[in-house]
Structure 1
């Protein structure tokens, strides 16, 4: 590592010369390409070159996607002017403390974003890890990968399944091979995934080709209740979108694919997340073998898994149409019961069973649940409420509808304690009984 001038640092790594930005006690390395891909092809790793100079792109690369009105409302507007659509979205960014002792190796947390395997990227301001990195003296790597039509729909030779999952595996290989040159411990890597990102990393536990790439997982709000019997739905969706596979205008693809999304009525709740990991296609086993595979691998990984108490309130209690009829009185009681039942079906019961299966097979597993504890917060602890707790960054969340009834001081107070616990798990694979818990957290060792 050599200082270049006041605002930058140059790292001489086995991958090449990497220029990083110095920023208020942290170092940022933005958008390193770890692999390339052609449309519907497997990723190919970028070759290392000691003489190469790694230059970050001017705009943040993001997989082509349609904006979600609900996410824009509840979390915040996406600064589309700072992003650039790129089908080959194999990039990662690194945030680390500016000062590290000469022989120090920091634990590495790898962030796999959510978004129903359809939207998002690794470099959103609402998941900026700077605050966590400074507080806990860790390294956080954020990963972007292919989504939607490009990454999580397939099923034949011309359009393979699970390409987004293969992208993530390539990112993990890059991290394993190169993070030591940037101050990280390549033997202490924790995957952190939320929502569909949690689903992805849970399935990485039973994927081929991941040996020694990570040691721990933090799985937040994974919709594991939607993982079953998706084959017919995926096959129908694949067939209907064949007409789009050669389209050169990716924005046109994003406009048109929605006409082919499977019906929720026909396929049930799982059709609410039409893209996903697909069993029976590389690198995954058949669905009927999945539970035994998780049990077989249970002792290889430390696992922290859980959810927010009112996950589906994010979708149900924010609907103006539903609130018109179910916003008060008996209607509100029906709404509350619906949130409770659907949260249990999609998130809670599957997380508990997942944890129990691993624990029964000898795994080291913790199960958590995040509550609201605020009497005047009608939405409770919905999907995504864990994001500001883990990442902080008040300025990015100031316009969020999700937090409109919650003082930021409360988010910060509980978040700082939660970040300390999650960092403790990333360092050691354990959470001490004497470590301070935030009041919103229910946590137990299985």
Structure 2
């Protein structure tokens, strides 16, 4: 492994003097606070500073519990590198080191997934350095409130959608200051995976987002779980009311799991108990959503899609299920369950979304990422798109998701995928002559 030489770089911005790191061909301005919040209140924008803005030693992260499934499938979380912060409105700007004065680069804003419950903007597995260098773009990674703190509410004391409001504040910050980093504020693409993609779909129909972004890339959004959640959310809210005065945020993150809604009562949507809530700002009522998306069709270029075996991430990695369905006829049953749940949660909703946008005259592309059976034991499961987009072999070396898959296969397909995604971010189009990865199907939806 080569030793990386790290130097500091100073961005003189209208927001303040920001100290960044220059390493391995990119410049990273890390963990810039874009807003600040009190518990269960909307964030307020952070004001420009006369002092130097210095990145912290540890990455701020919304208080959360470690997911054993994520540890198994993606890799261990080195908690010593993170600091829990209930007011977790931070973003990082990653820019190419080689840069021409007065150049204005396209900007991609990464909104992470994690069921609106776990994760943060700055993880090694979503480090965009390779993509930034290859495609000469700027990537901004955003952290925002999650779980109890950001995606569960129901009244003025505990408003819903606070995490969504955090993202809107981040987008205002980006529009106001990205020029100082060499970015083009009129060419901003939102990129989100899983619940991050769900958040982007709902940002498209949120109040207060005019002129904040021009394009969206929505990967593996669980839009099939968005319907009829009000009763479930109200029950969950009531059961967690006693947390409002708890000072130990880590206790909150540990204890709320005892009160999550039951799948047997609410169906598959209870597998994602936190989420955007309709009928509360900045969103409309649920029955108005399709009409709102159609009205937004002319405003945004859209690339939406999924991996072909999304729910294998959960079903084919379960020791209990594999005990009874891991081979023979049982495996055929399990494969059928993966197909049906993938289509219900991800596939059909993405197709419906694309069709509605196209019928309204919008510019929309639909994609699927497939697997190569000789490599992958579970197929193109949930999160399979992440190493393709972000690369970073070292971060993914222990991922169960990539078991037996040669990294050269990931890199070869990922480099082509990164080029297509960057082409879309620049122009809103994907040329018919652009080289496709062998695992990607993509078409303009008409």
Counterpart position of 2:124? 125
* 1:374 Cα deviation from its structure 2 partner: 2.5
Counterpart position of 2:94? 95
Counterpart position of 1:332? 331
Q: How far apart in 2 are the matches of 1:400 and 1:126?
A: 10
Q: How far apart in 2 are the matches of 1:238 and 1:120?
A: 22
Assess if the C-alpha contact under 8 Å between 2:351 and 2:366 holds in 1.
yes
Deviations 1:360-392 (A, max 9, x none): 001000000000023352300000000000000
Q: Is 1:351 matched up with 2:350?
A: yes
Q: How far apart in 2 are the matches of 1:110 and 1:408?
A: 26
* 1:318 Cα deviation from its structure 2 partner: 0.2
Q: How far apart in 2 are the matches of 1:23 and 1:377?
A: 33
Q: How far apart in 1 are the matches of 2:44 and 2:375?
A: 51
TM-score by structure 2 length?
0.98
Counterpart position of 1:15? 15
* 1:344 Cα deviation from its structure 2 partner: 0.2
* 1:356 Cα deviation from its structure 2 partner: 0.4
Higher mean alpha-carbon deviation, 18-27 vs 137-146, is at 18-27
Q: How far apart in 1 are the matches of 2:156 and 2:73?
A: 39
Q: How far apart in 2 are the matches of 1:33 and 1:349?
A: 38
* 1:102 Cα deviation from its structure 2 partner: 1.1
Counterpart position of 1:252? 251
* 1:11 Cα deviation from its structure 2 partner: 1.2
Q: How far apart in 1 are the matches of 2:48 and 2:292?
A: 34
Q: How far apart in 1 are the matches of 2:242 and 2:399?
A: 37
Counterpart position of 1:178? 177
Q: How far apart in 2 are the matches of 1:57 and 1:408?
A: 32
* 1:52 Cα deviation from its structure 2 partner: 3.0
Where do 1:336-415 residues align within 5 Å? Answer: 336-415=335-414
Q: Is 1:309 matched up with 2:297?
A: no
Q: How far apart in 2 are the matches of 1:99 and 1:327?
A: 50
* 1:434 Cα deviation from its structure 2 partner: 0.2
Secondary structure of 1:245's aligned partner: helix
Q: How far apart in 2 are the matches of 1:72 and 1:37?
A: 30
TM-score by structure 1 length?
0.98
Counterpart position of 2:223? 224
Counterpart position of 1:419? 418
Counterpart position of 2:31? 31
Q: How far apart in 1 are the matches of 2:22 and 2:47?
A: 26
Aligned residues: CA RMSD: 0.9
* 1:292 Cα deviation from its structure 2 partner: 0.1
Where do 1:263-282 residues align within 5 Å? Answer: 263-282=262-281
Cα 1:431–1:376 change in 2 (3 A) is: closer
Assess if the C-alpha contact under 8 Å between 2:366 and 2:443 holds in 1.
yes
* 1:8 Cα deviation from its structure 2 partner: 1.2
Secondary structure of 1:442's aligned partner: strand
Secondary structure of 1:347's aligned partner: helix
Query: How many residues get paired?
Result: 441
Counterpart position of 2:41? 41
Counterpart position of 1:239? 238
* 1:55 Cα deviation from its structure 2 partner: 1.5
Q: How far apart in 2 are the matches of 1:378 and 1:19?
A: 44
Q: Is 1:197 matched up with 2:235?
A: no
* 1:25 Cα deviation from its structure 2 partner: 1.1
Q: How far apart in 2 are the matches of 1:397 and 1:348?
A: 26
Deviations 1:12-59 (A, max 9, x none): 11101011111021101100000000000000001124x332111221
* 1:72 Cα deviation from its structure 2 partner: 0.5
Where do 1:67-146 residues align within 5 Å? Answer: 67-146=66-145
Assess if the C-alpha contact under 8 Å between 2:413 and 2:437 holds in 1.
yes
* 1:6 Cα deviation from its structure 2 partner: 7.5
Deviations 1:113-165 (A, max 9, x none): 00000000000000000000000000000000000000000010100000000
Q: Is 1:159 matched up with 2:158?
A: yes
Q: How far apart in 2 are the matches of 1:211 and 1:244?
A: 35
Structure 1 gaps, min length 5: none
Secondary structure of 2:99's aligned partner: coil
Runs of 4+ in structure 1 displaced over 6 angstroms? none
Q: How far apart in 2 are the matches of 1:111 and 1:194?
A: 9
Cα 1:92–1:6 change in 2 (3 A) is: closer
